Chains A and B, each alone.
Chain A
Amino acid sequence: MNNIKYIVIAGSAGSFKIITEIVDALPKNFPYAVILVLHRLRHIKQGFKEALSAKSEMEISEPFDKEKIELNRIYIAPANYHLFLEPDSTFALSIEEAVNHSRPSIDLSFSSAGKSLKDKVLGILLSGANKDGAVGLRHIKENGGKIIIQNPEDAVVRTMPDAGIKEIKPDKILSSKEIINFLLSLN
């Protein structure tokens, strides 16, 4: 995990609780860029960032297109856009069609992170009710990145972690508590 700089955490149904626990647990000096890609309602653009920011010590924002990815910050994929990570460590947004009925699509974010930022990426897939993210995890792994999948037994909805495990052997399968402890151990 020595090269990791970008931690992309993704989830859907049932993931909000663990996401808030992760965000609340990360210390102010956490030296990674944390990128959250969550399935959200397309027409509700406000309130999500504010809800996550309530107890977080880290700065949280929704990135603009072509914004530089800074370490020591949390980013949330904006509603109704796909979020790509570019080779020059910037974000790129797209309004192309939904993938896996989702925009943002986890597959697209994971895949672009893997292809663009290679072994600097750690992808974490959490609870969710569809298979979005599985193929993207494989692209992270194939490009030298690391992947963690939430233990399906621990997930509120296990479809997404199950699909990830079926697609590619993860580096770790962890419960929500273990994921938080693991992230804190990186600091």
Chain B
Amino acid sequence: MVSEVNLRNLELKHILKEVQCLSGFDFSKYAYSFILRRTEQFMQINSIHSEADFIYKINKFTNIVGQFLDFVFAQQFELFRDAEVWNYLTNKILPKYTNRGKLTIHFPYIADGNDLFSLLFILNNFSSEKIKIIVTGVTDNHISILKKGCFTEKHIKNSTKNIELLSPPTDIEGVFNRNKDCISVINNFKGEIIYETCDFFNYKYLTEIDIVIFRNRMLNFNKELQEKVIKTIINSIKKGGYLLIGANEKIDCEIGKKLKIADKNFNVFRKKIFF
């Protein structure tokens, strides 16, 4: 049985400071419960029993810091989460761009391929030659995992109900391709995918994005970082472009005035033409 780990605030701070020293990754603006829980979970799984033990091991075994960063952010194990949002994208948003030439879609700050490959699958319904997708990952390692596009039986199990709700309808066999090395998502994407690492503390300013898919990524941040990030993202969107966030995420800072609600139920926003 895995023994339970319970960190005190100060112990967590010491661990994260040490991680920052070794990796440069700053967790000070992340949501407390999120980072506490993921750190405790990582320690439990890896039989690390205390703050001292953690600090000793990350200094002795350098790969542990990388494993920790991979673990902390890789959370989602389902494709097409909130199927109705993917249906909205398929049936309401993407058709508007079919005759417009180039379309640029941005996935900021992702650590797993669930939303990216959900999109690649629904793009099977569209001509994709002129579509550019910019994927900014949390770390380089997340990007190399993303590029492989491999999923697990757990993903299939967790995604089954979502797939049943997709419109136009499909079935599991129509979504996943199994071979001996990898379960992949069937896609015929012919456009361009650009992968890069993103650090919101030193963020490269993107512009002229048509659609930003940024669902449930802000949950990891504290309020201060959320406001900084969302400002950057809203500024990157073209006038009339779309922003998709998670169902229970909210934009309640000044910059939000640049947006109007496209669909209240699905938390889809459009950037105003005039503001």
Q: Which residues of A contact B (CB under 8 A)?
A: 42-43, 45, 62-67, 78, 80-81, 84-87, 90, 92-97, 108, 112, 115-116, 135, 139
Contact call A67/B216, Cβ cutoff below 8 A: no
Residues of B within 8 A of A62 (CB): 248
Residues of A within 8 A of B83 (CB): 43
Closest 8 CB pairs of A and B: A84-B33, A64-B250, A96-B75, A112-B33, A92-B31, A95-B216, A78-B248, A66-B223
Residues of B within 8 A of A66 (CB): 31, 222-223, 226, 250
Q: How far is the CA of A93 from the CA of B247 in the complex (A)?
A: 11
Contact call B219/A92, Cβ cutoff below 8 A: yes
Contact call A65/B34, Cβ cutoff below 8 A: no
Given contacts A78-B247, A95-B246, A96-B75, A86 and B32 within 8 Å (CB-CB) = yes
Q: Which residues of B contact A (CB under 8 A)?
A: 4, 6, 9, 31-34, 36-38, 75-77, 81-83, 161-162, 165, 216, 218-219, 222-223, 226, 246-250
Q: How far is the CA of A66 from the CA of B75 in the complex (A)?
A: 19
Q: How far is the CA of A64 from the CA of B226 in the complex (A)?
A: 13
Q: How distant is A39 from chain B, measured CB to nearest CB, in Å? A: 16
Q: Secondary structure of the A side of the interface?
A: loop
Given contacts A87-B32, A116-B32, A95 and B161 within 8 Å (CB-CB) = no
Contact call A95/B219, Cβ cutoff below 8 A: yes
Contact call A93/B248, Cβ cutoff below 8 A: yes
Contact call A65/B75, Cβ cutoff below 8 A: no
| Cβ 8 A contact of A92, one of B9, B32, B77 | B32
Contact call B36/A95, Cβ cutoff below 8 A: no
| Cβ 8 A contact of B247, one of A45, A96, A97 | A45
Q: How distant is B144 from chain A, measured CB to nearest CB, in Å? A: 22
Q: How far is the CA of A52 from the CA of B76 in the complex (A)?
A: 30
Among B38, B216, B218, B219: residue with most chain A CB under 10 A: B219
Contact call B75/A97, Cβ cutoff below 8 A: yes
Q: How distant is B142 from chain A, measured CB to nearest CB, in Å? A: 16
Residue of A nearest to B8 (CB): A115
